[in-house]
Amino acid sequence: MTWATIRDILSIFFALAGIFFMFVGAIGVVRLPDAYNRLHATSKCSTLGIMGLALAAIFHVGTIAVAAKALMTIVFAIVAAPVGSHILAKAAHLDGMKPWDRQLSDELQQDRDRQSGKSPANAPRGMSANNPARSARRDPGSDPTARISAAV
Amino acid sequence: MNGLGSTMLSLGQGGSAHGSIASVGNASSPLQPALFFIFELGVILAIVGMMLCLYRMVRGPHLADRVLSGDTLAYQVVGLVILLTLRMESTTYLDGALVVAIIGFASTLAFAQYIGNLRRQTNA
């Protein structure tokens, strides 16, 4: 097995992985129920997909110039994608976007309510009014949702 | 598959004039048809993924949905450019991938700032 064949096999493997993650990310953007959930799919697409395709380019071409550009793309995508997803999710939460109706807890909203001094008005199901996360974790109670969130 | 491959092959020879990688790449490998088939499959799947992102951009109930679909669209374009680099055997396209990645990230940050300030502006 020559070095060219090994390079081709590595290129095929990384290209298939990259194509798979890109397409799965695009499907997730359409199919997931919520913008917070869709950001999860976007991050898969932009880190693992770009990384696979750029590694395929490195192994297929094999020159220093292409490897430098592809590595720059990988490093930039890995640094930028989580930052973009995080800041977009926080901006959507600041704007008051309604989350999925089957979510278990919204800890950022609880923290924000606790800091502003008011009791959490729209507390998630199964949580008691004051100090919700701790009490739910200590005493699951009879509500099945509280038991699930205490187990998590 | 063969018809598609021949049409895209004839497309590819136009791009191989300037920064050709045929001299440095392994053009005479036995796995070359499989590689080209995978790259063409990836181009098609990237285009389908861009259509899915455009669907979410049209449908999206909240502004954040549209922004994240635009972000995903930018990264699909990056992947498409890398796949076209590999398929057309011309390394000059690869600079576009980096530029699109940077611009997509900057636009995501700008739209996130805008979304985060929306409620404050309407309350004040």
Backbone phi, psi, residue B112, to 5°: -65, -40
Question: What are the pLDDT tens digits along chain A (152 aa)?
Answer: 788 889 999 999 999 999 999 999 999 999 999 889 999 999 988 899 999 999 999 999 888 999 999 999 999 999 999 999 999 999 998 888 888 888 888 888 888 888 887 665 555 554 444 444 444 444 444 455 554 555 55
Q: Is A62 on the interface with B (CB under 8 A)?
A: yes
Distance from the A125 Cα atom to the nearest Cα atom in chain B, whole angstroms: 24
Chain A partners within 8 Å of B48 (Cβ): 23, 26
Q: Is B31 on the interface with A (CB under 8 A)?
A: yes
Q: Which of B68, B88, B89 has the most A C-beta neighbours within 10 Å, making it the best mutation to test the interface with A?
A: B68
Q: Is A6 on the interface with B (CB under 8 A)?
A: no
A117 and A81 belong to one structural domain: no
Contacts of B81 (CB under 8 A, 6+ apart): B93, B94, B96, B97, B100
Residue A81 in tokens: 């994608």
A35 and A88 belong to one structural domain: yes
Q: Distance between alpha carbon A109 and the CA centroid of its chain, in Å?
A: 19
A18 and A89 belong to one structural domain: yes
Q: For residue A141, is it within any domain?
A: yes
Contacts of A81 (CB under 8 A, 6+ apart): A42, A43, A46, A47, B75, B105
Predicted ipTM beyond 0.90: no
Q: Taking a contact as any Cβ pair under 8 Å apart, which residues of chain A between 106 and 145 contact chain B?
A: none
What is the rounded CA–CA span in Å between residue A85 and residue A76?
A: 14
Q: Strand, helix or coil at B90?
A: strand
Structural domain range at position A114: 107-151
Q: Which pTM does this prediction carry?
A: 0.76
Within 10 Å of residue B120's Cβ, how many Cβ atoms?
10
Q: Is A54 on the interface with B (CB under 8 A)?
A: yes
Backbone φ/ψ region at A125: left (φ over 0), alpha (ψ -120 to 50), beta: beta
A10 and A83 belong to one structural domain: yes
Backbone phi, psi, residue B90, to 5°: -135, 120
